[in-house]
């Protein structure tokens, strides 16, 4: 068998490994009793899973419009075969008297139209997933599996495309480092946007690099252009922040053409081709969205658009969007996409949040410029960080010690353009992200982290036979650190979402750095808490847990909501507090000491999972 095929078999093995490890880490092993095994529905999943099924069943896009539909649709595909009960959406615009939004079980599972058009996504998630005829755990099981499988397919596709522009070894090492990362497994195993979006952005950039290289070599053909259109479209349909690939690829491609072809005529042709690419991409996006808005009336969609459009924007923008809505399904789809972009960038600008970070709770002002840097250094494995540093060291050393002039060095660097494109993309992505105060997880720079991972693999491959400090060849350094990373990932199973490296005491103490989607994403350990209460015959438990799921479903009638801010401590009782709630309470400077959970610290008895602190009061 040829060596190339060996590499492909290894890539298939790695992709399948990702499927099994990711799936088992969130779904556990007791599939006959899904209510008490694996991770509970995380905060964002409640909305995404239920929204995806809503789109496919209704052809309407009122629920969760601040995220594009692709990943939600993928999660809902197996549900079409599972056929869970779809709650009736009433035509009445007013609330029914028996509808109490936070009650469980609800007296009525008929969803008011007012909540639908008002994007009451969390209410819809509870009404759908926790409908008495549905099993939220079975629905989540299949939704997650669908997303995980597609993530693995896109990972393998990324490897195949990398083979077209990088060496087999660099491509395989890049895939390996992505697959065995705790952060990637955690994000790639849930029905959330960041991981699939990141992989699709990488695929789009690789396609762009291959296309431009072939274009310069006069080997390009229509199939590569269409492939580029497809993956740019999929990237933009996976998360709105993916739109950064458009300015990033345009700018980096323009520099590449300018330096390689050195002709204004060639630059002009490049601009025309890029304009054709963007036009084709937005036509695909419009068509895709059209299938999600065809049952939205013009008046309903106009009301939605007007309510979303920011007051500080010029009014002519809203008028143009409204004009595109009327009697045109294709342009209606494009308007819905634009509405989503406006919503997400409005959220970035507003940055409403309550974020615990390094001993302090921050609000809309954000946690400061060190937030992502510290999380990068503490949530990635030490082995991967070491490879990042070694790769950077060699690249910088070679660049400054090479005897060519600066222009020649740059030309040699961009001769194979992918590395340059990834660097430009990472820079622009960080500029946009770091200029915002929205800081609710390292996942928000996941595309940059994966780009750096690929660049690290390329650096290792380029300097494979060179010696580090004149002692040990890079190939041995990489092999040793790869084993360290692999062991770290195996030992972290199944708590990949809460993983922190040993720079700050490991996973058990990671919540002291940051919580939220870095550690406690809306109660992923609720199932483990329910099992602990059941195994220990706990008939009554007070709980203060940030989650969007009804805790009564898992903890039963013995559950009582609790916050110490209410001013009392139940005696002779079990109290479960999630680390998210604990940190946000204890480090909140606005709360008096007699309103903080430090009052019950002496009653701590154990931790369930990684995020549930259990206290037993006298």
pTM: 0.95
The pLDDT of 489-507, averaged and rounded, is 92
Position 219 scores a pLDDT of 87
Q: Hey, is 525 helix, strand or coil?
A: coil
pLDDT above 90 coverage of the chain, percent: 75
- On whether both 139 and 218 belong to a single domain, the answer is no
Q: Directed axis angle between helix 264-293 and helix 222-236, to 10°?
A: 50
- On whether both 307 and 267 belong to a single domain, the answer is no
Could you read off the pLDDT of 233-279 as tens digits, one per residue?
Answer: 999 999 999 999 999 999 999 999 999 888 889 999 999 999 999 99
Tell me, yes or no, whether 176 lies in a domain: no
Could you read off the pLDDT of 72-94 as tens digits, one per residue?
Answer: 999 999 999 999 999 999 887 66
Tell me, yes or no, whether 267 lies in a domain: yes
For 247-281, give the DSSP string.
HHHHHHHHHHHHHHH--HHHHHHHHHHHHHHHHHH
Hey, what are 81's tokens? 């075969």
Calpha distance 454→609 (Å, rounded): 33
Calpha distance 134→153 (Å, rounded): 29
- On whether both 211 and 286 belong to a single domain, the answer is yes
Tell me, yes or no, whether 76 lies in a domain: yes
Tell me, yes or no, whether 36 lies in a domain: yes
Which residues face 1 on adjacent strands? none
Tell me, yes or no, whether 433 lies in a domain: yes
Could you read off the pLDDT of 430-487 as tens digits, one per residue?
Answer: 999 888 887 889 999 999 999 999 999 999 999 999 888 778 899 999 999 999 999 9
Hey, what are 482's tokens? 């790869």
- On whether both 8 and 137 belong to a single domain, the answer is yes
- On whether both 203 and 121 belong to a single domain, the answer is no
The pLDDT of 520-540, averaged and rounded, is 95
- On whether both 44 and 137 belong to a single domain, the answer is yes
Tell me, yes or no, whether 157 lies in a domain: no
Position 450 scores a pLDDT of 98
Q: Which positions ≥6 away from 557 have C-beta within 8 Å?
A: none
Answer whether 154's CB lies under 8 Å from 201's CB.
no
Last residue of a domain, one of 261, 292, 323: 292
266: exposed, middle or buried (C-beta count within 10 Å: 0-12, 13-18, 19+)? middle
Which domain does 438 fall in, by range? 367-499
Could you read off the pLDDT of 328-367 as tens digits, one per residue?
Answer: 878 899 999 999 998 887 766 655 678 899 999 998 788 8
- On whether both 488 and 377 belong to a single domain, the answer is yes
Number of domains in the chain: 5
Confidence band of 3 (pLDDT split at 50, 70, 90): very low
- Whether the upstream peptide bond of residue 282 has omega within 30° of 0, thus cis, is no
- On whether both 137 and 217 belong to a single domain, the answer is no
Position 350 scores a pLDDT of 57
Last residue of a domain, one of 89, 113, 145: 145
- On whether both 282 and 253 belong to a single domain, the answer is yes
Hey, what are 125's tokens? 């998630």
Could you read off the pLDDT of 152-204 as tens digits, one per residue?
Answer: 999 999 999 999 999 999 999 999 999 999 999 999 999 999 999 999 999 99
Q: Does the CA dihedral 98-103-109-111 come out positive or negative?
A: positive
* Look-up of token digits 């029905």: 191
Confidence band of 99 (pLDDT split at 50, 70, 90): low
Calpha distance 55→69 (Å, rounded): 8
Long-range Cβ contacts of 85-93 (<8 Å, 24+ apart) = 85/131, 85/133, 85/134, 86/53, 86/57, 86/128, 87/111, 87/127, 87/128, 87/131, 89/58, 89/113, 89/116
- Other C-beta atoms within 10 Å of 257: how many? 23
Position 471 scores a pLDDT of 85
* Look-up of token digits 């994966």: 450
Position 105 scores a pLDDT of 81
Tell me, yes or no, whether 188 lies in a domain: no
- On whether both 578 and 460 belong to a single domain, the answer is no
- On whether both 535 and 554 belong to a single domain, the answer is yes
Hey, what are 319's tokens? 């008028």
Q: CA geometry: angle at 335 spanning 333 and 341, to 5°?
A: 110
The pLDDT of 90-114, averaged and rounded, is 72
Hey, what are 37's tokens? 């095994």
- On whether both 215 and 82 belong to a single domain, the answer is no
């Amino acid at each position: 068998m040829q060596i190339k095929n060996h590499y492909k078999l290894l890539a298939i093995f790695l992709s399948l490994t990702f499927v099994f490890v990711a799936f088992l880490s969130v779904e556990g092993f007791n599939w006959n009793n899904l209510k008490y095994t694996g991770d509970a529905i995380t905060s964002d999943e409640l909305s995404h899973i239920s929204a995806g099924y809503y789109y496919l069943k209704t052809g309407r896009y009122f629920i969760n419009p601040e995220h594009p539909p692709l990943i939600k649709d993928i999660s809902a595909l197996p549900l079409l075969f599972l056929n869970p009960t779809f709650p009736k959406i009433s035509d009445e615009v007013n609330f029914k008297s028996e509808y109490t939004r936070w009650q469980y079980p609800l007296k009525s599972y008929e969803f008011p139209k007012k909540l639908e058009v008002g994007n009451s996504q969390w209410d819809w998630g509870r009404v759908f997933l926790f409908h008495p005829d549905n099993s939220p755990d079975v629905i989540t099981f299949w939704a997650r599996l669908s997303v995980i499988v597609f993530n693995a397919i896109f990972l393998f596709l990324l490897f195949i495309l990398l083979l077209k522009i990088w060496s087999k070894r660099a491509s395989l090492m890049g895939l390996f480092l992505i697959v065995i990362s705790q952060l990637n497994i955690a994000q790639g195993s849930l029905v959330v946007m960041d991981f699939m979006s990141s992989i699709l952005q990488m695929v789009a950039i690789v396609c762009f690099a291959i296309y431009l290289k072939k274009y310069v070599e006069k080997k390009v053909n229509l199939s590569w252009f269409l492939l580029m259109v497809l993956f740019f479209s999929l990237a933009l349909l996976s998360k709105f922040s993916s739109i950064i690939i458009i300015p990033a690829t345009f700018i980096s491609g323009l520099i590449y053409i300018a330096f390689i072809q050195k002709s204004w005529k060639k630059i002009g042709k490049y601009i025309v081709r890029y304009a054709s690419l963007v036009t084709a991409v937005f036509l695909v996006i419009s068509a895709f969205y059209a299938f999600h808005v065809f049952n939205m009336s013009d008046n309903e969609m106009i009301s939605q658009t007007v309510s979303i459009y920011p007051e500080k924007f010029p009014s002519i923008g809203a008028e143009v969007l409204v004009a595109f809505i009327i009697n045109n399904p294709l342009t209606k789809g494009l308007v819905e996409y634009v509405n989503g972009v406006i919503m997400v960038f409005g959220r970035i600008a507003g940055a409403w949040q309550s974020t615990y970070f390094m001993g302090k709770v921050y609000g809309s002002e954000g946690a400061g410029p060190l937030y992502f840097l510290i999380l990068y250094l503490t949530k990635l494995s030490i082995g991967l960080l070491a490879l990042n540093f070694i790769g950077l060291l060699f690249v910088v050393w070679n660049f400054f010690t090479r005897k060519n002039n600066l222009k020649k060095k740059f030309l040699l660097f961009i001769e194979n353009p992918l590395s340059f494109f990834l660097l430009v993309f990472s820079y622009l992505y960080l500029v946009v992200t770091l200029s915002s105060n929205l800081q609710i997880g390292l996942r928000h720079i996941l595309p940059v982290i994966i780009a750096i991972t690929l660049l690290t693999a390329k650096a290792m491959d380029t300097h494979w036979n060179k010696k580090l400090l004149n002692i040990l060849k890079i190939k041995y350094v990489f092999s040793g650190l790869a084993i360290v990373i692999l062991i770290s990932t195996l030992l972290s199973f199944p708590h990949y979402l809460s993983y922190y490296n040993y720079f700050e005491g490991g996973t058990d103490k990671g919540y002291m750095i940051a919580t939220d989607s870095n550690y406690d994403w809306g109660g992923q350990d609720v199932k483990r808490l329910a099992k602990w209460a059941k195994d220990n015959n706990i008939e009554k438990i007070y709980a203060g847990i940030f989650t969007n799921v009804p805790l009564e479903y898992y903890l039963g009638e013995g559950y009582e909501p609790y916050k110490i801010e209410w001013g009392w401590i139940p005696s002779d009782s079990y109290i479960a507090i999630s680390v998210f709630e604990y940190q946000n309470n204890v480090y909140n400077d606005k709360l008096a000491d007699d309103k903080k959970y430090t009052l019950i610290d002496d009653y701590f008895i154990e931790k369930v999972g990684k995020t549930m602190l259990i206290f037993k009061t006298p």
